[in-house]
């Protein structure tokens, strides 16, 4: 099974890259399943129903989120009627939407997607380890699920790596999101889970984590806000990770970064060439 995960889509530039390029990748790479983190897709903050639909129409099967999920207030309502939009699993009981769901891939495989959020230097949510454990035991890999994808939205590399080892052998892919900068540690962990500490963003990298440079720089220099953060609108790099998943075990056979367009070095998975 061929899975593509694309990192945090930031603003108009990120959306243009996904909408412009994902349909071609789905057919060229014969992708079975695509997950896109869309929490910064609406002007850098949150996601709307129309943008969710645009990402799904472009070929995403699931749109994940993180700490910005509710920045566009309409998400609190439409998430209830859009099962393909996930919010972090470890929000308090009673939060709208869902943090995990089972989907059917183009090859017929049942894919459990889990979206959870870290707690180090972030909001004090419920324990993500316990939340992920519960979701995995409700729908285990090799039993009710043929593949398991976990988007762990977190600030620190350590918490993301701990989650990777916590579920090693029980998930097909654990990928970190939120920092908007891709790490070079993509690999298959000892028990078969593909892992990458952070997948990076789909956005303009000539920026400060996707935002136009002026205001972030101003706040570091003067500590006084002079305006709003605006997404940078130069050409985005489509940034993600490609995973070949074994159809029998649901574990990873190969993992490779994806970077297409924009200013970063270009790289595509050789095993789908």
Contacting range for Fe ion; rule: CB under 5 A; set: 18-26, 44-52, 60-68, 182-190: 60-68
In which residue are the tokens 């609406």 written?
A: 42
Look up 153 and say whether it is catalytic: no
Closer CB to Fe ion, 132 or 209, in the complex: 209
Closer CB to Fe ion, 66 or 164, in the complex: 66
Closer CB to Fe ion, 29 or 205, in the complex: 205
Strands 147-153 and 110-117, bridge-based pairing? parallel
How many CA atoms lie within 13 Å of 151's alpha carbon, on the beta-carbon side? 35
Indicate whether 200 belongs to the interface with Fe ion (CB under 5 A): no
Under rule CB under 5 A, which residues in 154-183 are in contact with Fe ion?
Answer: 178
Closest separation between CB of residue 195 and Fe ion, Å?
A: 19
Closer CB to Fe ion, 76 or 102, in the complex: 76
Closer CB to Fe ion, 66 or 257, in the complex: 66
Among residues 68, 178, 180, 186, the one annotated as catalytic is 68
Closest separation between CB of residue 139 and Fe ion, Å?
A: 25
Indicate whether 237 belongs to the interface with Fe ion (CB under 5 A): no
Closest separation between CB of residue 154 and Fe ion, Å?
A: 9
The dihedrals phi and psi of 196, each to the nearest 5 degrees, come to -150, 125
Q: How many residues bind Fe ion (CB under 5 A)?
A: 3
Indicate whether 256 belongs to the interface with Fe ion (CB under 5 A): no
Indicate whether 72 belongs to the interface with Fe ion (CB under 5 A): no
Indicate whether 64 belongs to the interface with Fe ion (CB under 5 A): no
Active site residues: 68
Q: Which positions touch Fe ion (CB under 5 A)? A: 66-67, 178
């Amino acid at each position: 099974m061929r899975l593509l995960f694309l990192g945090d889509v930031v603003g108009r530039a990120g959306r243009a890259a996904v909408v412009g390029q994902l349909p071609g990748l789905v057919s060229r790479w014969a992708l079975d399943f695509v997950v896109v983190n869309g929490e910064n897709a609406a002007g850098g903050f949150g996601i709307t129903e129309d943008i969710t639909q645009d990402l799904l129409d472009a070929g995403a099967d699931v749109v994940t989120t993180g700490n910005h999920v509710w920045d566009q207030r309409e998400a609190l309502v439409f998430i209830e009627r859009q099962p393909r939009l996930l919010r972090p699993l470890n929000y308090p009981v009673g939060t709208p939407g869902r943090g995990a769901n089972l989907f059917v891939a183009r090859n017929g495989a049942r894919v459990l997607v889990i979206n959870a959020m870290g707690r180090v230097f972030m909001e004090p949510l419920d324990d993500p380890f316990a939340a992920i454990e519960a979701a995995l035991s409700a729908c285990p890999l090799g039993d009710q699920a043929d593949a398991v994808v976990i988007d762990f939205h977190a600030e620190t590399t350590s918490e993301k790596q701990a989650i990777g080892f916590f579920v090693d052998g029980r998930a097909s892919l654990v990928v970190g999101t939120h920092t908007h900068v891709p790490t070079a540690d993509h690999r298959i962990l000892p028990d078969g889970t593909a892992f990458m500490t952070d997948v990076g963003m789909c956005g303009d990298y000539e920026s400060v984590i996707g935002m136009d440079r002026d205001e972030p720089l101003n706040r570091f220099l003067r500590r006084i806000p002079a305006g709003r953060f605006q997404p940078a609108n130069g050409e985005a790099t489509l940034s993600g990770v490609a995973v070949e998943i074994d159809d029998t075990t649901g574990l990873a056979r190969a993992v490779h970064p994806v970077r297409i367009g924009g200013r970063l070095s270009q790289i595509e998975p050789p095993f789908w060439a």
